[in-house]
Amino acid sequence: MSEQGRRMDESSGASSCGFTLFDAFERSAALHAQRPAVRCGSNTWSFQQLHSRVSAVCTALRERWLRPGDRVVVRSDNCHRYMELYLACAGLGAIVVPLDVRLAEEEVRAILAETAPTLLVADQVERLEWMHRLYSGAEASVLLGDGSTPSGEGVVAYESLTSGPTRPVRDGVIGADAPVALFYTAAVAGRPRGAALTHRNLITQVTTTGEPLDIGEQDAHGVFLPLSHTFGAYLMFVAVCRGAANTMLTSFDPNEAARRIAAGEVSFFAEFAPMAARIADAADAAKSAFPGGLRLVMGLDAPVTIARYRDAGVQWWGFYGQTETAGLVAMGRVGDGPIESNYVGRPLPLVRMSVRDSKGSPVEPGEPGEAWVRSDAVVQRYWPDEPTRLTQDGWLRTGDVLRVGADQNMWFIGRTSDKDLIKPGGLNVYPAEVELALQAHPAVSRAFVFGVPDPAWRERVCAVVLPSAEFGGTDAAALAAFCATKIAGFKCPRADSIVIVADGGDLPEAPSREAMRRRYGARLETVAKGAADEAAK
């Protein structure tokens, strides 16, 4: 084990045995042995079969390479093997570091350097070779994909790990506060940080999310979000630990999602706009038996989309959560009356929430304020040992502004001034990170990044750029393309959302993100609306 992993294990009490995510999985596998646990492609595995494969992989990983606290970096699309790897690592105390497959080279290089993984894992040979070029310190590599032939020293086919002998998985050294996974987020200052989600966090979520929704053996979770995203992974854990099946899509495909729903293979899913609308459109186009066995959807979306599902007899649940809460902490079913935008429900079981002003005092009902959260689901640290936004008495200051009613129902309003965040399609984009990427171009003196409303994606990333003396003929398209070489494409502004203000241009007296938003926001919002209208034709 590395020194970083040892420090985190010691500080989390890993020497004391606690009830872990793997314990919850083993309990579920024993109770639901013959029921379907995971569907992927044309194949289905029962809980008994899943447990057998996971136990074999866990044994092989422990005997060959991994110890508690070691990191396993994964760059892969969704598949049943990715799910098995999460569970196997949870069983032996290793820490999964999931990478969004869209991350750029510089982003991945920084994560690899910070986490110092023992094992590199990918679903494609090219992705594995790409990570090897960025990091040479791993002891071995594992290839997840179907029909892929491992090449190179130390590269092992994942399937070869599933057929070996199994040993008892628990060895008494995994504590409830040991990390299960590091999800990189919170790039407020321009550098993403790895939120360490622990066994305690995720076990709490199995109850916190699972109980209100009555998730159980009758259900099947549509895994339409990536397993590299907190929500995709945590809902997979909730389902498997409560006896529900997980129906995997390699990546989001509205046609395949609609087909799976019509076939009765999905009873619930979580979405970020516009996923639900696209699934419903695909079902209409295919004239399929929508909504099939679908009973509920979780998401924040346009009222017209919510009504579309509600009118088909599907429950719609608004929600609130973030990576630092290991999933959802508030949720509420949309009723039969008028649909209110941004409704997020009420605090969930095992969660306390308080909406407070800038001085930390609770606000009056109907007033907006910052959401504070207290729960065993709250993440305590970023990797390797940086605290999250916790107060001395254990409240997490979320940086999100909610409005709360007298009945504890809540609505999302926005974000505090110290937490600039843009969420196109539900993905986190931090302005400081995008500004640093744009300012790395020699033609850019300063960049100001902010979000504007987008009818299709809820928010759009926009930038106002001040050119340097070396600007020359650089245009917005060149800046957008350059930005995409530095950070993931979904974080970058499109060319039509970049305003270049030359010398003598229309600048506020004191340039800032907010000042630029006020000066150029309406113009860029019109661009976003025009793009959405064009796409809808």
Q: pLDDT tens per residue, the chain (537 residues)? A: 555 554 454 444 444 457 899 999 999 999 999 999 999 999 999 999 999 999 999 999 999 999 999 999 999 999 999 999 999 999 999 999 999 999 999 999 999 999 999 999 999 999 999 999 999 999 999 999 876 566 667 799 999 999 888 777 665 678 999 999 999 987 777 789 999 999 999 999 999 999 999 999 999 999 999 999 999 999 999 999 999 999 999 999 999 999 999 999 999 999 999 999 999 999 999 998 889 999 999 999 999 999 999 999 999 999 999 999 999 999 999 998 889 989 999 999 999 999 999 999 999 999 999 999 999 999 999 999 999 999 889 999 999 999 999 899 999 998 887 778 899 988 899 999 999 999 999 999 999 999 999 988 889 999 999 999 888 778 999 999 999 999 999 999 999 999 999 766 677 777 888 889 899 999 999 998 888 777 776
Provide the CATH number for the domain formed by 252-415 in this structure.
3.40.50.12780
Q: Is 417 left (phi over 0), alpha (psi -120 to 50) or beta?
A: alpha
Which residues belong to CATH 3.30.300.30 in the chain? 424-536
d(Cα 467, Cα 460) in Å, to the nearest integer? 22
Half-sphere exposure of 62 (CA within 13 A, CB side): 21
For 213-334, list the strands marked E by DSSP: 220-223, 245-248, 268-270, 296-298, 315-322, 327-333
d(Cα 261, Cα 290) in Å, to the nearest integer? 7
Half-sphere exposure of 462 (CA within 13 A, CB side): 27
The domain over range 424-536 is classified in CATH as 3.30.450.90: no
What fold characterizes domain 3-197?
A: Rossmann fold (3.40.50)
Q: Which helix (H) or strand (E) holds 387?
A: strand 386-387
C-alpha torsion 469→470→475→477, nearest 10 = -130
Which residues belong to CATH 3.40.50.12780 in the chain? 3-197, 252-415
